[in-house]
Every structure is written in C-alpha cells, then in structure tokens.
Amino acid sequence: MATIGIAFGNSTTSFATIKDGKVDVIANPDGERFISSALSYVDGDEYHGQQALSQIVRNPRNTIVNFRDFIGVPFTDIDARYSKLAAHPVELNGKVAYEINGNKLSIDEVVKRHLKQIKNAAEDYLGQSIESTVITVPTNFSDVQKQDIVRIAGEAGLKVSQLINEPTAALLAHLSNKDLLKEDKIYVVADFGGIRSDAAVIAVRGGIMTLLATEHSTTLGGAELDDALIDFFAADFQKKFKADAKKTEKSLAKLVAASIITKKTLSNVQTASVSVDSLAEGFDYMSSINRLRFELVGRKVFSEMIEFIESLIKKAGLENLDIDAVLLVGGTSNIPKVASTLSLIFPESTEIHAPAIDSKLPNPNELNCRGAAIQASLIAGFDDEEIQESLQPVVVNTEHISAPIGIKDTDGHFLTILPRETAYPIKKTISFTSNSNNVEIEFYEGKRNVKETVVEPEQFSDDEEDSEEEEPEIVREVEYVPGTLLAKMVLNGVGAGKPVDVIVQIDREGKMHLTGRSGDVIVKGEVSQA
C-alpha cells in the first residue's frame, strides 16, 4: 500500500510518491508527468490527459477542460471563459455539468472520472494499491469546495487523509529538497499557472510556516501569454495571406495548440518555429519567433505579474526589501522572463528560486505535488485525530508576533531572539559570555529601519567601456534597532567571563515569559503582549 500526493490544477495534474526517501514524480502510461486535466469522449471511449486535449480541434464539444475551479461552485457564479473552445458548462441542479453525447455529466462526475484516471495511472506505475492521498487546493478554496473534493476523491477510490494548500506544499517541497526548513526566512511563493495565478507570503520560523497574506487572479496566467502570441501570429497570417486565422473555432483551436508549443519551446531555446497545416482558408502557416520578440509580445502580462506580487507584499504589510526569497511555482514560471522581471523589483539580497536562475531546481510545475507527497508520507502513520491536530511541519494561520523580540548587545545593537512573524507558542534560548560581575539585560521589540549604504563604483581608469557605470549605487537593507523596551533585568554577582542564557518564551495566550540565567543566578519576568 502506498501514499501519494496529488496536485490537481485546472490545466494539469501531477502526482508523486516517496520512494527510498526521495520524491518520485510519477508519469502516466503515456509518459506525461504534467497530465492535462482534460477528458474527451469519442465513440464511447474516454480519453484523458494530452490525448483528450488533442481532441479540442476535432471534437471540441465532447472535450472537457479547465474544470477544477468549478468544484462546489453554483452554476450562476462560474466564469466559463476558458471553456469557450471546448465543452460548454451547462446547469444541472444549480451546479455545473457538461452535455456529452446528449447526456449531462455533473461536475462531480467529471472530477471523479479524472481522479480515477489518476488513481489508475498511479497504481499502474507503483504496482500496488493506494492507501491514502494528500491533495493540494488553492488557499481561497471554500469549505464547500474542500468538502466536495474530499467526497468526490473518495468516490473515485482515493482516501484523502488531508488537503494541503498549494503554496505551503510548494514551499515544503522546496525547503525539504534544499534542507532549508531550519532557516528562518520570509518567502514569496509565486504560482503562475494556466488560467490563474496565486501567490502567498509565508514566514518560515523554526520549521513552522505561517501564511501572512495571499493574492489570487483569474485573469493572469499562461493563457494570457497564449492569447498575446495568438494575436501576434494571427496578424502575421493576415498580412501574409489576407485571411483570418481566428475566424472559425477550428482554426483558432489549431492556432492555440501551436502557440502553446511555441511558447514552451521558447523557455528552453532562443528561437522557436510554428507550423500549422491548413490553418485557415486552405493556407498552411509557417513562421518563427525569437525569445526577445515573445517577451515584447507578452510585456503587458509580465508587468501584470509584477503588480500582482507587489500588491501581495503590500497586503502582508511588508515591503519588497523584507522578502528574503521568492519561490517560483507553476508551469508559467518556466519562462525565463518571469524570473528576470521579478528579480528587478527585489534587492540583490533577495534570492529568486527559479529554474532559469538555478537549473538544478526541480520543474516549478512539480513543486505542489512534491510537497503533497512529502506531507502524505509524513502523516501516513497517524490516525485521523492526530492528523487533525498535527499539521507538522505545516502550520498555517497560527498566531504570530509582528515585531521581532530581542536584547540590546554591548554595542547597543539589536540582537534578535525571535524574528518577526514567529508563530507561538514558542521558546528560544540564546547564550553569551558576561563581561562584568553584574549583567544587565534589556529586552526590546525591534524597530524596522532601512539602512542605505552608498557603494562607490570601482574605478577602471584605463578601461573605457566601464566609463558609463560610474554612478554610485545605493543599497537599501532592512535592519532592526532596539525599539520599545519590554523589560529590564539584572543578574547580580555573576562574575565576568561566565556563560549567560537568555530565554524568551511566548505561551499559547501570547504572554511572554523572560528568563536570564547564569549558574545559580536566575531572574524571571512576564510581559503581556498587546
């Protein structure tokens, strides 16, 4: 019996398992690791994945795509824009359904069939049955949507032991892969998908993740880049043949499929060709596009991505300078321009984790299912109650402190004990060596300060090429200085050169317990948090 993690998106579904302590992303029998979330019905047969997606040109009305977000949503509330070229959603008992060969298939039935295909592919690959699974969902999925997906998965024969939200799963995968769980950092997890984008600010403190803010868009994603590319090719086609490549659904569907392939190719190489037989009015279309042109064609979408991330950071009450690292997730994050555009808005010290910058990273499209697989194996031995209680190491929306807590060192600098956004309850100890007989300890809340350092450019007196770069550069960094004094304690008669421990503990109610200790000398205090 095995456990798997499933990332079920509107565009693709991936699944993974843990094998010999390593995450293994599973391919379906067609060799696809990113399986198109698509079903198509031809002559009574069900097609799945890319085989189903390919039917959009020939058999659009019996091909179902982009349905994940319709789970548990009333028919009147859905946005059916991305179903235009495929089966159109219709109403059934107030919910979404599709009319396939004259029969109405409810959304629940569609999701069930999709998950059944996934289950079969996983069992086929693993050679054993699946005991339980963890499925990723967006942070803004409603309770009804969550209940529905668990119920429907159950009907498909998949026992869901837990749902995990997408950005937490992606970050868990990233941190586990790099062994970074113990490094306290504030991350932006930016997931650019097909028909939506989602992002979150997550603070990692002592291996615990706290979700500080989230942002969602259903008008930003790979589909917008496809549209821009389609318009570009259609204008070229019009110029060459005086014919409209978008006139019929069939020609448009052909151009969509070709544009997506071209777009993906440009993530790896500088130039890509596009070729469509009999695109419209009997004309074949052949052309090529380079990466730079594509970046120009999609520039509006790339700048929307920046606005999206900036708005998220503002929501978290932070500035770009406060972000230690950005993790790029989702299929669209394969595009090198996404990483390079985003890196421009952050200081150099902010790490950008993307395959375009570090080719050793896993495909950003795999992160969600990798995280789900890790979580599935972590909780595999737990009973239901333990799973409810223990979301370790994934804890979301816990209480957390908004300013760091620390002490003033002998130079008057702020020494952080608990960084901002640390979730509580928590206990942390730091140690130093006393330099006098009596030790005075002042506890402070840290105050954020932006330090500006002017870096003079290096002088290349005999190198003319560098003469334009002589503007001094201003580097802005966040630092913390002692702010509000919380408490002051004196350890008398400790003696110089002795070890001193300072312990800060915040209990479940937010009350702070402070302890200073050296040998037998112990002083304790309490502060109630505002």
Question: Contact residues for Mg ion (CB under 5 A)?
Answer: 9, 193
- Shortest reach from residue 382's CB to Mg ion, in Å: 27
Q: Which is nearer to ligand ATP, 12 or 162 (CB)?
A: 12
Among the listed ranges 110-118, 192-200, 272-280, 495-503, the one in contact with ligand ATP (CB under 6 A) is 192-200
Binding of residue 36 to ligand ATP (CB under 6 A): no
Question: How many other CB atoms are found less than 10 A from the CB of residue 436?
Answer: 11
Measured in residues, the chain has a length of 530
- Three-state secondary structure of 305-367: HHHHHHHHHHHCCCCHHHCCEEEEECHHHHCHHHHHHHHCCCCCCCEEECCCCCCCCCCHHHH
Sign of CA dihedral 163, 169, 173, 176: negative
Among the listed ranges 107-115, 312-320, 326-334, 513-521, the one in contact with ligand ATP (CB under 6 A) is 326-334
Binding of residue 335 to ligand ATP (CB under 6 A): yes
Residue 264 binding result from ligand ATP, Mg ion, none, given CB thresholds of 5 to 8 Å by partner type: ligand ATP
DSSP code, position 431: E
Return the residue of 2, 5, 6, 9 that touches ligand ATP, per CB under 6 A. 9
Q: Which is nearer to ligand ATP, 60 or 298 (CB)?
A: 298
Return the residue of 264, 427, 448, 513 that touches ligand ATP, per CB under 6 A. 264
Sheet containing strand 103-106, edge to edge, reads 89-92, 95-100, 103-106
Tokens of 9: 């998106």
- Shortest reach from residue 194's CB to Mg ion, in Å: 7
Return the residue of 330, 404, 406, 419 that touches ligand ATP, per CB under 6 A. 330
Binding of residue 12 to ligand ATP (CB under 6 A): yes
Sheet containing strand 405-408, edge to edge, reads 414-418, 405-408, 439-455, 473-491
- Shortest reach from residue 285's CB to ligand ATP, in Å: 20
Size, binding site for ligand ATP by CB under 6 A: 23
**Virtual torsion, Cα 129, 131, 132, 133, nearest 10 deg:** -20
Binding of residue 371 to ligand ATP (CB under 6 A): no
Strands (E), 174-270: 185-192, 197-205, 208-217
Strands (E), 71-173: 89-92, 95-100, 103-106, 130-137, 160-165
Binding of residue 49 to ligand ATP (CB under 6 A): no
Residue 221 binding result from Mg ion, ligand ATP, none, given CB thresholds of 5 to 8 Å by partner type: ligand ATP
Sheet containing strand 511-518, edge to edge, reads 426-433, 499-506, 511-518, 521-528
Closest alpha carbon to 95 in 114, 117, 78, 113: 78
- Shortest reach from residue 216's CB to ligand ATP, in Å: 10
Binding of residue 356 to ligand ATP (CB under 6 A): no
Among the listed ranges 217-225, 276-284, 300-308, 451-459, the one in contact with ligand ATP (CB under 6 A) is 217-225
Residues 6+ apart with CB under 8 A from 396: 165, 168, 209, 210, 211
Q: Which is nearer to Mg ion, 193 or 419 (CB)?
A: 193
Binding of residue 193 to ligand ATP (CB under 6 A): yes
Residue 289 binding result from Mg ion, ligand ATP, none, given CB thresholds of 5 to 8 Å by partner type: none
Return the residue of 5, 72, 194, 404 that touches ligand ATP, per CB under 6 A. 194
- Shortest reach from residue 142's CB to Mg ion, in Å: 17
Alpha-carbon gap, residue 418 to 426, rounded angstroms: 9
Tokens of 491: 């350890």
Binding of residue 221 to ligand ATP (CB under 6 A): yes
Binding of residue 370 to ligand ATP (CB under 6 A): no
Using only C-alpha atoms, what is the Rg of the chain? 27
Q: Which is nearer to Mg ion, 193 or 364 (CB)?
A: 193
Contacts with ligand ATP, residue ranges (CB under 6 A)? 9-12, 34, 68, 193-196, 221-223, 260, 263-264, 267, 330-332, 334-335, 365
